Structure 1
Amino acid sequence: MQLSVPLTAGLLPDQFGKYATGADLHAGKPKRSFPITIEAAPAGTQSLALTLVDFDAVPVSGFPWIHWCAANIPGDTVLIPEDASRSGVLPMVQGRNSNAGGMVRASDPLVAQGYVGPQPPDQTHAYTLTVYALDTTLALDNGFWLNALRHAMAGHVLATASLDINSRA
């Protein structure tokens, strides 16, 4: 399985991250998710799940920062379109991101769930996008936590693909 996302000079385009403006923001947070092309998912894929995690956040926050987790994306999906997190154009359930955790405690579901774009505070960070091909759909509801996704996927992963996406500070 292979993944690709559009980049500008090797970086995530501004509308998907820290330098988003206007309608691409909600409460000062970038909310327009970037498009993801998925190639060669294995036969038998019933659904897809994804995670977007900033491991470069560890020196800043003390832990990897979760920017997006989603599940139950139709297994035959080859393009997760731009702004899919907000638009509802593609069926999926979406989990909480790190804004929902104890450090930020965001209560606005538009900030605490679904995609929230990169906002590296100190330097360019690499954001790890992982897509999982699964042999089933998962018993998860909107607002799940990443650990619940990991437990639900156990024994159901047919393939994974990861891609590091750089976003500028």
Structure 2
Amino acid sequence: MRHTGNMLITADFSIIPSAYAKDAPEDARVDSVPCVSFPFYIDQLNPRAKYLHWEFSDPDSIPVCGFEWIHWTVANLPVDAIMFDPSDAHALSIPADFSRSLPSMVPEALQGRNSSASPFLGRSSDPALIERYNGPQPPDKDHQYALQVWGTSEPVEGLEQGFWLNELLHGLERGKSVCDAGGVMLVGKA
């Protein structure tokens, strides 16, 4: 489900920096997976949007593993909870390492399971791994990663911490409160 709107999603890079990806240092990993999320900006947000939700995924993983790899999902983040500097050119700034700091900064916001939670992988059930950002680690070649953000006038009902992406997508569709959306494609280096 890809909604379109006037929201503009940008980053200070088109290639995801190594600190947030495959070459992240050991202290920025959980179970060998990069865990420090990258910063990005949300501009031109419809004023009716009171909550933000996003998915960061890898459609280029389909030929590699048979499905689109989910790297990070967030739901029900109140727009008012995000700090912004009126002197900055960007309306909203999602800072680096937001995924790890979100539970203490904005406890009402939710993070969903990523593909590391798949029972087929046999990985740890540690929420720091399966319910947070997992940085890109493409095994075969550079991949194009999709960051899709939705703005809604109401929170998505029925979600809990550790929701699955399909639950978010169904909730967005069911809730009928999507008033804006935008996205950006970013490169993850092999």
> Shorter-normalised TM-score: what interval?
over 0.9
Residue of structure 2 equivalent to 1:95 = 112
| Contact preservation (8 Å) 2:26, 2:32 | no
Give the 3-state SS of the residue equivalent to 1:60 in structure 2.
Answer: helix
Report the RMSD for the aligned CA atoms in angstroms. Answer: 1.3
Distance (whole Å) between structure 2 residues aligned to residue 132 and residue 105 of structure 1: 31
Task: Quote how far apart the aligned CAs of 1:80 are.
Answer: 1.1
Matched, 1:46 2:63: no
1:3-152 superposed matches below 5 A: 3-7=9-13, 10-76=14-80, 77=82, 78-88=92-102, 90-91=105-106, 92-106=109-123, 107-139=125-157, 140-152=159-171
Question: Relative to structure 2, which stretch is displaced further, 127-136 or 104-113?
Answer: 104-113
Q: Which runs of 5+ in 1 are unaligned?
A: none
Give the 3-state SS of the residue equivalent to 1:147 in structure 2.
Answer: helix
Listed one character per residue, the Cα deviations across residues 93-145 of structure 1 (whole Å, up to 9, x for unaligned) are 10000010132143122111111010000000000000101111123211000
Distance (whole Å) between structure 1 residues aligned to residue 97 and residue 70 of structure 2: 18
Distance (whole Å) between structure 2 residues aligned to residue 90 and residue 128 of structure 1: 25
Listed one character per residue, the Cα deviations across residues 59-94 of structure 1 (whole Å, up to 9, x for unaligned) are 000010000000111224411111010012642210
Distance (whole Å) between structure 1 residues aligned to residue 179 and residue 71 of structure 2: 24
Give the 3-state SS of the residue equivalent to 2:150 in structure 1.
Answer: strand
Residue of structure 2 equivalent to 1:161 = 182
* TM-score for both structures, normalised by structure 1: 0.94
* TM-score for both structures, normalised by structure 2: 0.84
Q: Which runs of 5+ in 2 are unaligned?
A: 1-6, 83-91
Distance (whole Å) between structure 2 residues aligned to residue 42 and residue 90 of structure 1: 24
Q: Aligned letter for 2:156?
A: L
The total of aligned residue pairs comes to: 167
Distance (whole Å) between structure 2 residues aligned to residue 124 and residue 59 of structure 1: 13
The percent of aligned pairs where both chains have the same amino acid is 36
Distance (whole Å) between structure 1 residues aligned to residue 118 and residue 161 of structure 2: 15
Q: Which has the larger radius of gyration?
A: 2
Give the 3-state SS of the residue equivalent to 2:67 in structure 1.
Answer: coil
Question: Relative to structure 2, which stretch is displaced further, 17-26 or 126-135?
Answer: 17-26
Give the 3-state SS of the residue equivalent to 1:69 in structure 2.
Answer: strand
